[in-house]
Amino acid sequence: MALLEIKGLTTEVSGYKIIDNLDFSVEANELRVLLGPNGAGKTTLIAMITGQFKPTAGKIFFDGKDITGRAPDEIFLAGISRKFQVPNMYETLSVYDNVMISLQTDRKVFKYMFKRVSPAENERIWEILEFIELADRANDPADTMSHGERQWLEMGMLIGSNPKLLLLDEPTTGMTEQGKQRTAQLIEKIAKSHTVLLVEHDMHVVRRLGKKVTVLHQGKLLAEGPLAEVVENEMVKAVYLGKGRH
């Protein structure tokens, strides 16, 4: 069974089907890119998987367990970490503390009460900070970081939680060309040891990654396969690139 398996997922908001009977799966240790025009349901799909919204019908299985309609914190503890579209972190805390908060520990209040950062945890935080190349800014508050640095910090926070599946929602939005390249590099590095589901708009980045691609359109699965094949697909061309442009 695949790591993430979605069966017949449907989400309806006032009669309009944002996600329409979707079957979709991600294998372990895979880097999958999710494509789709605006309103295709990409972010909604991620919101369903992480428990932000509840689906109208259908099931979501993760790691063999049914996680449909569970609370966000429970789904996180099951092993799914999510990066938001807009960088989302703790603004007044330092970069170090942002990663520290994300570390995998028992998160129950009374277990947490007298806990301190152990040397092993400290080591791990620094490893992550060096991995995302932000170690020299460890003591700065997160709100002093640039947009790109915030995106990388959030990815570092996700790694810190040791997830089985990372959901990255458009991590390159609003970045400069160099920023996008650095982000793509970081995603490649992360994908070496993690399962990643990436929502991406930028074709340069998608081409560079060159992995299996899933295209959504109006909440339905339009095409799936290696990038080169999908780009040649007539339907994809019609939906996406506009008729007659290719």
Binding site for other proteins (CB under 8 A): 35, 37, 50, 72-73, 76-77, 81-82, 84, 88-93, 96-98, 100-102, 107-109, 112-117, 122, 126-128, 130-131, 135-141, 144-148, 157, 159, 161-164, 173-176, 179, 192-194, 201-203, 206, 240-241
Minimum CB distance to other proteins smaller for 25 or for 173: 173
Minimum CB distance to other proteins smaller for 57 or for 185: 185
Tokens 């290696």 -> residue: 226
Contact 26, 32 (CB under 8 A): yes
Minimum CB separation from other proteins for residue 95, in Å? 10
CA distance 115 to 100: 12
- CB-CB neighbours of 232 under 10 Å: 12
Contact 150, 179 (CB under 8 A): no
Minimum CB distance to other proteins smaller for 21 or for 53: 53
Minimum CB separation from other proteins for residue 82, in Å? 5
Minimum CB separation from other proteins for residue 26, in Å? 15
Minimum CB distance to other proteins smaller for 7 or for 237: 237
Minimum CB distance to other proteins smaller for 23 or for 130: 130
Minimum CB separation from other proteins for residue 192, in Å? 8
Minimum CB separation from other proteins for residue 8, in Å? 25
What is the side-by-side strand order in the sheet with 195-199? 80-83, 165-169, 195-199, 31-35, 212-217, 220-226
Class of residue 84 by CB neighbours under 10 A (exposed 0-12, middle 13-18, buried 19+)? middle
CA distance 212 to 60: 21
How remote is the C-alpha of 124 from its chain's centroid? 21
